[in-house]
Amino acid sequence: MKIFHSRLAAGLAALGLLGASTAFAQQPVPAPSIGDAAAPRVAMAGPSCSDAAGSCTDATSCCDEVEDGSCGDDDSCPCYLFGPAEAWALTDPEKNCHGLKIGGWMQAGYYNKPSQFFNYNVPDPGVVNLNQAWLYAEKATDGADGLDFGYRADLLYGTDGADTQAFGNPAGSWDFANGWDHGKFSWAMPQLYAEVAYDKWKVKAGHFYTPMGYEVVGAPGNFFFSHSFTNYNSEPFTHTGALATYTASDKLTIYGGWVLGWDSGFDQLNQGNAGLSGFTAQITEKTAFTYIGMYGNLGSRSFPGTNQASYNHSIVIVTNITDKLSWVVNSDLVASDGFTSGFDPGNPLVSGPFANDQYSLVNYLFYKVSDCWGVGGRAEWWKTDGTSLNEVTFGVNYRPHANFVLRPEIRHEWSPGGLTSAGVAGTPVDTTIFAIDGVLTF
């Protein structure tokens, strides 16, 4: 429950949320073609055709085919209002002798009212906010030609900063409760890691995004502006530790590593110490299955002063029904022996220590209308300790330029069991929210 342990940990300290490559770095990358079921972490029906953030691959044209079946660099995408067919980027790693890529994005958004159970993306409704001003530097690795070394660093400023800090840390360490907050805006450094690759192996060590779940933190990696309850509450954002990736074949990738619990940043809370492992399997030509699990002391999601063992996992299934229609299923389980908040002792859902179990099922359906238009829907059931929450979101992606996308959406959320925004029984949540954001990549 990210909103619980991020905001509540901040209260305790008396200091002072939101798809990726098959390597599961949870770094946003451009959405692949809708026929690519091997990339289960990305909003596959985007239509996202820019080199959105950090993949060391050539930006590819997203033009509708012209008569000769090609689209040159000087052509314009037929559906773009302006701009070239290919996305513009700050650097080209293939032309840089060090393989360095520097890039980022700007995201600004508006919504007319807050979520009734968690406040997604911006802290106040009715105004346009800067959600993410993001800059990264990366040298990607490729072990095909022998031993290769790389790294990545990300720096974020905006209203999403507080939810991207290492709030699974003790207060005052790394970027959490350490003077990085400035009103509703905050700085965060969600990734800083080194990586080594050799042949079919890659190993990263440092502070990096979780491989769990379908939605990602970086705005360009998602279809929707808002996030699911599952993503925000039942999955970590970041880890500190080491993660190995082994590409066994073109149909199987295996992951294994060790981390200091949930959302830790070069520090340890509540003796956090957990294994992180899983796999991605191409089970049919059109369907990919991913399982990632954690077992051990989850740090901020475990009792303090003990070494309690907890478990959580995320399952993602991506099926490309047609060349334009994709269906994604995401299901999470959290079985935590407990964590302490103490922020609101009168609230039975967030006062602790206590054991906490969560379950969810999220369905996504994406349809690529054209290279510049896409529509998508999300339907979610999320349950925490016997109380259910539901949300349905419908959204549109419009890309007038290869580097820019607009994402309006309508979201309805309700709690049939009577859960209120305070997390206690009473008047049930039942609200409809309009939101829109724009994302400019570079």
Domain boundaries, the chain: 2-441
Q: What is the pLDDT of residue 426?
A: 54
Residue 1 pLDDT exceeds 70: no
Least confident of 37-41, 249-253, 304-308: 37-41
The total of other beta-carbon atoms located within 10 Å of residue 170's CB is 17
The total of other beta-carbon atoms located within 10 Å of residue 186's CB is 21
Task: Name the pLDDT band for 371 (thresholds 50, 70, 90).
Answer: confident
Residue 64 pLDDT exceeds 80: no
Cis status, amide bond into 400, omega within 30 of 0: no
CATH 3.30.230.70 fits 2-441, yes or no: no
Task: Name the pLDDT band for 353 (thresholds 50, 70, 90).
Answer: low
CA neighbor of 391 nearest in space, from 226, 217, 223, 228:
228
127 φ, ψ (degrees, to nearest 5)? -135, 160
Residue 10 pLDDT exceeds 50: no
Chain mean position to CA 295: 21
Please give the share of the chain, as a percent, with pLDDT higher than 70.
Answer: 72
CA neighbor of 224 nearest in space, from 434, 5, 7, 415:
434
Task: Name the pLDDT band for 114 (thresholds 50, 70, 90).
Answer: confident
Please give the share of the chain, as a percent, with pLDDT higher than 90.
Answer: 57
What is the helix (H) or strand (E) element at residue 314, kind and residue range? strand 310-320
Chain mean position to CA 421: 23
Least confident of 15-24, 207-216, 243-252: 15-24
Q: Is residue 402 exposed (0-12), middle (13-18) or buried (19+ Cβ within 10 Å)?
A: buried
Mean pLDDT of the chain: 79
Q: Which amino acid is at 99?
A: G
Who wins on pLDDT, 324 or 269?
Answer: 324
Least confident of 131-135, 238-242, 302-306: 302-306
Report the C-alpha gap between 38 and 252 in whole angstroms.
Answer: 10
pLDDT in tens, 169-197: 988 999 999 999 998 999 999 999 999 99
Task: Name the pLDDT band for 435 (thresholds 50, 70, 90).
Answer: very high
CA neighbor of 407 nearest in space, from 81, 83, 56, 43:
43
pLDDT in tens, 188-235: 999 999 999 999 999 999 999 999 999 999 999 999 999 999 999 899
Task: Name the pLDDT band for 309 (thresholds 50, 70, 90).
Answer: confident
Distances (CA, A) of 336 to 76, 285, 378, 384: 52, 36, 27, 11
CA neighbor of 209 nearest in space, from 231, 228, 229:
231
Q: What is the pLDDT of residue 217?
A: 94
Q: What is the pLDDT of residue 79?
A: 83
Distances (CA, A) of 347 to 30, 106, 115, 146, 335: 41, 37, 19, 55, 20
* Block residue for tokens 């340890």: 268
CA neighbor of 172 nearest in space, from 266, 97, 50, 242:
266
Compute the Cα dihedral for 245, 248, 254, 260 and give only its sign: negative
Question: What pTM did the predictor assign?
Answer: 0.81
CA neighbor of 202 nearest in space, from 126, 267, 139:
139
410 Cβ contact list (under 8 Å, min separation 6): 393, 394, 395, 432, 433, 434
Three-state secondary-structure class, residue 114: coil
Which two tokens mark 261?
């619990």
Q: What is the pLDDT of residue 181?
A: 93
53 Cβ contact list (under 8 Å, min separation 6): 27, 28, 29, 30, 103, 104, 105, 134, 136, 218, 220, 221, 441
Distances (CA, A) of 165 to 5, 40, 153, 181: 12, 25, 14, 10
Q: What is the pLDDT of residue 338?
A: 63
Which two tokens mark 21?
């490559």
Q: What is the pLDDT of residue 84?
A: 75
DSSP 64: P
Task: Name the pLDDT band for 339 (thresholds 50, 70, 90).
Answer: low
Q: Across residues 277-291, what is the average pLDDT?
A: 97
Residue 46 pLDDT exceeds 80: no
